[in-house]
Amino acid sequence: MPTTDTARRKRLARRRRKRIIRKVTTAVLSVAVIVATFFIVWSIIDRDDDVTENNNENFISDEHGQSDSGTVFNPDPDPVTDPEQPPVETEQKPDPEPEPEIKMMTVELKKEDIKKGILILVNRQYLYDFPEDDKLIDMFTYKSSAYKFRDTGMMIDPVAGEALNELLVDFYNRTNNGDVNIISTYRTLDDQKRIYASKLDYYGGDVETTEKWVAVPGASEHHTGLAIDLGIYTSDGESFDFRGEDEYAWINENCYKYGFIVRYDSAKTDITGIAYEPWHFRYLGLPHSEIISGTSLCYEEYIGYIKAYPYDGDHMFFTSETGDKYEIFYLRSEGETTTFELPEGSDYFVSGNNVDGYIITVKSGK
């Protein structure tokens, strides 16, 4: 059976070839794995050698900073050669200049100064002292068609007079109404005695009713030259009480901007002792008139309120509608002389309160 034997031999030859191919393939793969492993191990060893060499060059030095390779040890990497380090600013900034020392000035006040100034409280409990150095001016100095005078020779504190003129001129410019009449400004003690006696007679000797409308002589704010009473006198020759109503309400509502307050509030009669007088204005100056206008305090209460801000404690700070900034504090009288300190060049004014001390107002700009 030659054909069968030939076929069998061919099959055996194919099987041998396949076994040889498998062995060769296995051998080649083994060699490839060995070679790949060798290269991996070699790269690791080579990298470790580089790190060791670099470490030796950079960190092995003698006590003078000289390395084995002869280079100088530099603990700070060079920002140019080491890209991973940000550049270091080597320029030194100048030391900050010390804040200038604030020079202080000492202000000395006398005991009699308690009774002087635009903020003094005058009422039945704290009478006016009538200092000899009152400096008053004739209100007629400002005479214009914007308002009228009941009499000539009406004296007033010059600061209050200037503010009153500005207030009434502004009212006239808004309304073209020139019927406002100034009926009372400064009064002497004798003036007040005469007015008081006349009113007492009018009320048939009723002291309580009289004193609701007229201050006891010595207790009137008119003694200071800082108070004014307004009336109405028309071009037809008719006179009316000033009620602060209708277009005249603008004066009562805006007088604080000019340094005035409506002194006697209907809700504070039990404190002031005086009935509601919408025609009676008292000059206090800014910022005090504006501060009071934003509260429900009468002036007696305001004097007590300021005492909560003593010189050696927390001060009152106030910013006006115009942006002006103020610092205010109270200083109690310590006897014949009392002193306090302020920075040199301060813009300030001092007023006694006619009670027991002084009110200091410092304007600190805008």
**So which residues are the catalytic ones?**
277
H helices within 114-256, ranges in order?
158-175, 189-202, 207-213, 249-254
204/108 Cα distance (integer angstroms)? 50
- The kind and range of the H/E element at 299 are helix 299-306
Q: Which residues pair with 348 in a beta bridge?
A: 362
155/162 Cα distance (integer angstroms)? 12
Q: Which residues pair with 328 in a beta bridge?
A: 316, 361
Q: How many residues does the chain have?
A: 366
User: Residue 229: helix, strand or coil by DSSP?
Assistant: strand
Please choose, from the candidates 162, 225, 160, 214, the residue with its C-alpha nearest in 3D space to the C-alpha of residue 192. Answer: 214
255/293 Cα distance (integer angstroms)? 9
Which long-range contacts does 126-129 make (Cβ < 8 Å, 24+ apart)?
126/354, 126/355, 127/218, 127/219, 128/218, 128/219, 128/220, 128/223, 128/224, 128/354, 129/354
DSSP one-letter code for 164: H
221/185 Cα distance (integer angstroms)? 9
Instruction: Dump the DSSP string for 5-68.
Output: HHHHHHHHHHHHHHHHHHHHHHHHHHHHHHHHHHHHHHHHHHHHHHHHHHHHHHH-B-TTSBBT
User: Residue 120: helix, strand or coil by DSSP?
Assistant: coil
208/158 Cα distance (integer angstroms)? 34
98/314 Cα distance (integer angstroms)? 27
| Tally of CB atoms within 10 A around 38 | 10
